[in-house]
Amino acid sequence: MSDKSASAYWAANIRIITICMVIWALVSFGFGIIFRPLLAGIPIGGTDLGFWFAQQGSILTFIVLIFYYTWYMNRLDKEFGVDEQ
Amino acid sequence: MDQFTLNLLVVGASFALYVGIAIWARAGSTSDCYAASRGVNPIVNGAATAADWMSAASFISMAGLIAFVGYGNSTFLMGWTGGYVLLALLLAPYLRKFGRFTVPDFIGDRFYSQTARLVAVICLLVISITYVIGQMTGAGVAFSRFLEVTSTTGLLIASTVVFIYAVLGGMKGITYTQLAQYIVLIVAYTIPAVFISLQLTGQFLPQIGLWSTHTESGLPLLTKLDQVLVELGFRDYTGHHGSTFNMVLFTMSLMIGTAGLPHVIIRFFTVPKVSDARKSAGWALIFIALLYTVAPAVGSMARLNIITTIYPHTTETGALDLERPLSYAERPQWMINWEQTGLLRFDDLNEDGQIQYYNAANPPAAAEELGWAGNEMVTFNQDILVLANPEIAQLPGWVIALIAAGGLAAALSTAAGLLLAISSAISHDLIKSMINPGISEKGELLAARISMAFAIALATWLGLNPPGFAAQVVALAFGLAAATLFPAIMMGIFSTKMNTAGAVTGMMVGLLSTCLYIFTYLGWFFIPGTAMLENVPANWLFGISPLSFGTVGAILNFAAAYLVLSFTKPAPQEVRDLVESIRVPRGAGGAVAH
């Protein structure tokens, strides 16, 4: 692999990691804790959306994030020809 | 058949299974012993990681922690799962590509320094040994409660079983044993939860029951719980009561601490490919989430169950009828059983023959008029919640026996993973890499087995003589994993320039600052009476709780490392090439013996 495509591959990886980490922080620290008062108006199961994110929603989002990243990277690996044969 | 015989049968059968698996999968090479020859299916590895990760604390204590605090302890749910995102995105695939056997192996080679390797070994040993104490004592307690032996005898039985299957099977044996242990613990955890959810909400899945209508009152379960707690003078369950800042910091510490725990990281060395390491982290989180999404349901439902057991009647408005609490003579059988253990205790303060349970510091308005003299449920150990669940839900005896086997599976699977991390750090990193590089494969395997035997002996001894506060010792393990290993590994992958001086300084700063901060408030080496400042929020530096300090330690680690890098020579070209090579999946071979 040329140096140029190596750095492009790494840049693409960093970009998707950054996007995933922003969502990771947003659902847990954001919706689950800091912004909970802002979500207080959205009722769910006898409480509010922030409580749901803190006790269930963030965990479900984490699972989706990991599988999305895995799927995305498998595609990226093939595109740059760095996948395992 | 009586309950004791049933417990003995179920627990005995599960132990026979574990030992049988170890004999079937015994390790023949160091690669078998450290990394199961990198032949583990990613889904199997996910289940093994889940058992490896979920300890006695997750299985027994977590639902209770949530039940008695409510929203504030959501930190454990988010923190102990969010770490897997960090593992999958930032660490696991690259460490698998690197293709070594241990965490100090990576740090030593990446930072081309025996000093860095040694510092990593020290951090690993402190983290893993403090963590293993809790597992051994947990196993001892579970034994003594269900098998009617002293906790010392229980601890010795637990050590013997771990000794047999960990020493014989190595990583390969541990992997397949952990798979079996995962199945035992998740079945044991789920069955009583499903029945409690059905009884309270009519919903089969506890994950849905938590947000559903409480059948008896017609109100949403959580609304009902908030309402009865406030009636009894407690804080509401869903409300936010503590400091937001510490909640964020503590959650973050648990997340990066989880990602930095060596016994979890080494599980990702066992899969065949880099892409499998990513996938395996996802599967691990699914298997963990099966328990972690049930735990908050168990917590809230059990709390409501206890309150409505003590106040069985309601008034016309639907509020608790405080005038007619449970009469002590008519209390259910599970209360009588658990009173015998001393974990549950009532004291009829006003001698009216009834049980009054409320917050005596903030009593309900009617308390004085009714002649209440204080909270009469004087002891309620939070661990009872999960352990007594089958009895509360009036489930048959085999479910109770299953809970015993599940608690033991959770404690033993984590203990085995920790012992493997400890022994491989000694035999591989200390003996093979530093003291005697010429050691033969056979000699190293023998050294691994001997050091594992020593580690088990040490863990047993520490379990028999536990240092002061078990819970705080675990906080130290998480804090140190967050402040030392996680930043070092991350910089090793994401910075090509990071050099020996930067990494070693960073780890030392993380290690010392975290120990110093925790010991200042919790006592030097947790010896009671040696704390320099009382552990109250007013004394905390910038209001940071010692339990949340791991995040700060990690930031200090990164800052110190980059500061030192700025005036020292960056890593040499061959090391930079190494970093470039671990960033791409292609070329990840099988086990690399070196």
Spatial contact of B222 and A46, defined as CB atoms under 8 Å apart: yes
What was the pLDDT predicted at A49? 92
Spatial contact of B102 and B433, defined as CB atoms under 8 Å apart: no
Which residue on chain B is closest to A54 by alpha carbon? B74
With a cut of 50, say whether residue B222 has pLDDT above it. Answer: yes
Least confident of A53-67, B335-349, B475-489, B555-569: B335-349
More confident position, B19 or A19: A19
| Average pLDDT rounded to a whole number, residues B482-488 | 95
d(CA B519, CA B86): 28
| Chain A residues within 8 A of B587 when measuring between CB atoms | 84
Residue B79 lies in a domain: yes
Query: Containing domain of residue B106, as a range?
Result: 17-300+395-469
| Average pLDDT rounded to a whole number, residues B366-386 | 84
Residue B67 lies in a domain: yes
B231 and B87 within one domain: yes
Q: Which of A1, A55, A75 to mutate: most B Cβ within 10 Å?
A: A55
B62 and B211 within one domain: yes
Kindly report, residue by residue over B60-117, the tens digit of the pLDDT: 888 888 998 999 999 999 999 999 999 999 999 999 988 888 899 999 999 999 999 9
Of A59, A73, A84, the CB nearest to B292: A59
Work out how many domains chain B is built from and give that number: 2
| Chain B residues within 8 A of A59 when measuring between CB atoms | 77-78, 81, 285, 289, 292-293
More confident position, B104 or A1: B104
Whole-number average pLDDT of chain B: 86
Spatial contact of B444 and B31, defined as CB atoms under 8 Å apart: no
Q: Percentage of chain B with pLDDT > 70? A: 96
B170 touches chain A (CB under 8 A): no
| Token reading at B37 | 């020859």
Least Cα separation, residue A16 to chain B (angstroms): 9
Of B88, B273, B583, the CB nearest to A66: B88
Contacts of B538-544 spanning 24+ positions with Cβ under 8 A: B541/B517, B543/B243, B543/B245, B543/B246, B544/B246, B544/B249, B544/B517
- Helix boundaries (H) for B325-372: 333-339
B136 and B177 within one domain: yes
With a cut of 70, say whether residue B170 has pLDDT above it. Answer: yes
At B26, the amino acid letter reads: R
With a cut of 60, say whether residue B591 has pLDDT above it. Answer: no
B295 and B338 within one domain: no
Domain locations in chain A? Answer: 3-79
With a cut of 70, say whether residue B528 has pLDDT above it. Answer: no
B119 and B47 within one domain: yes
Spatial contact of B300 and B221, defined as CB atoms under 8 Å apart: yes
Of A33, A45, A73, the CB nearest to B210: A45
CA torsion B502-B505-B511-B514 (nearest 10°) is: -90
Find the angle CA(B291)-CA(B294)-CA(B298) to the nearest 5 degrees: 125
B374 and B233 within one domain: no
| Chain A residues within 8 A of B279 when measuring between CB atoms | 67, 70
At B386, the amino acid letter reads: V
Which DSSP helix (H) or strand (E) runs through B95?
helix B92-98
Kindly report, residue by residue over B177-188, the tens digit of the pLDDT: 899 999 999 999
Which residue on chain B is closest to A52 by alpha carbon? B211
Least confident of A6-20, B295-309, B341-355: B341-355
Domain CATH for B212: 1.20.1730.10
DSSP B320: B
What was the pLDDT predicted at A15? 96
Q: Please give the distance of CA A73 from its chain centroid, rounded to a whole number.
A: 13
- Helix B549-566 to helix B500-522 angle (10° resolution) is 150
Q: Percentage of chain B with pLDDT > 90? A: 34
Which residue on chain A is closest to B209 by alpha carbon? A45
B205 and B79 within one domain: yes
Q: Which of A10, A13, A18, A59 to mutate: most B Cβ within 10 Å?
A: A59
d(CA B229, CA B224): 9
| Average pLDDT rounded to a whole number, residues B496-502 | 93
Nearest to B40 by CA among B275, B273, B286, B287: B273
Residue B96 lies in a domain: yes
| Token reading at B275 | 């892409």
More confident position, A47 or B439: A47
Query: Where residue B451 falls among pLDDT bands split at 50, 70, 90?
Result: confident
Task: With CB atoms and an 8 Å threshold, state whether A66 touches B84.
Answer: yes
Task: With CB atoms and an 8 Å threshold, state whether B586 touches A82.
Answer: yes
User: What ipTM goes with this model?
Assistant: 0.96
| Average pLDDT rounded to a whole number, residues B201-229 | 91
Residue B534 lies in a domain: no
Nearest to B452 by CA among B59, B40, B58, B173: B173
| Chain A residues within 8 A of B82 when measuring between CB atoms | 24, 28, 58, 62
| Average pLDDT rounded to a whole number, residues B132-144 | 75
Of B89, B273, B584, the CB nearest to A20: B89
Task: With CB atoms and an 8 Å threshold, state whether A77 touches B77.
Answer: no
More confident position, B515 or B540: B515
B438 and B363 within one domain: no
Nearest to B61 by CA among B238, B298, B226, B229: B298
What was the pLDDT predicted at B527? 66
Spatial contact of B511 and B480, defined as CB atoms under 8 Å apart: yes
At B587, the amino acid letter reads: G
B106 and B178 within one domain: yes
With a cut of 50, say whether residue B593 has pLDDT above it. Answer: no
Q: Which of B53, B73, B74 to mutate: most A Cβ within 10 Å?
A: B74
Spatial contact of B360 and B374, defined as CB atoms under 8 Å apart: yes
B197 touches chain A (CB under 8 A): no
| Domain-ending residue, one of B469, B493, B512 | B469
Q: Which of B43, B211, B219 to mutate: most A Cβ within 10 Å?
A: B211
| Chain A residues within 8 A of B90 when measuring between CB atoms | 17
SS3 state of residue B213? strand
| Token reading at B581 | 């090579």
d(CA B127, CA B41): 28
The string of DSSP codes covering A50-81 is HHHIIIIIHHHHHHHHHHHHHHHHHHHHHHTT
| Chain A residues within 8 A of B223 when measuring between CB atoms | 46-47
B196-218 in b/e form (b: 16+ CB < 10 A) is bbbbbbebebbbebbbbbbeebe
CA torsion B7-B12-B13-B14 (nearest 10°) is: 90
Task: With CB atoms and an 8 Å threshold, state whether B275 touches A74.
Answer: yes
| Chain B residues within 8 A of A34 when measuring between CB atoms | 244, 248
d(CA A14, CA B366): 61
With a cut of 90, say whether residue B216 has pLDDT above it. Answer: no
| Chain A residues within 8 A of B275 when measuring between CB atoms | 70, 73-74, 77, 83-84
The string of DSSP codes covering B6-31 is HHHHHHHHHHHHHHHHHHHT---SHH
Nearest to A77 by CA among B515, B277, B569: B277
With a cut of 50, say whether residue A39 has pLDDT above it. Answer: yes
B96 touches chain A (CB under 8 A): no
Residue B374, CA atoms < 13 Å, CB-side half-sphere = 10
- Which 3-state string (H, E, C) describes B431-457? HHHHHCCCCCHHHHHHHHHHHHHHHHH
| Domain-ending residue, one of B389, B404, B439 | B389
d(CA B262, CA B471): 19
| Chain A residues within 8 A of B210 when measuring between CB atoms | 45, 55-56
At B568, the amino acid letter reads: T
| Domain-ending residue, one of B469, B493, B528 | B469
d(CA B83, CA B49): 13
Q: Please give the distance of CA B439 from its chain centroid, rounded to a whole number.
A: 36
User: Which residues neighbour A61 within 8 Å (Cβ) at sequence distance 6 or greater?
Assistant: A23, A24, A27
Residue B37 lies in a domain: yes
Q: How far apart are the first and last CA of chain A?
A: 15
More confident position, B132 or B527: B132
B362 and B292 within one domain: no
d(CA A58, CA B33): 36
Residue A17 burial class via C-beta count within 10 angstroms: exposed 0-12, middle 13-18, buried 19 and up: middle
Q: Please give the distance of CA A12 from its chain centroid, rounded to a whole number.
A: 15
What was the pLDDT predicted at B321? 86
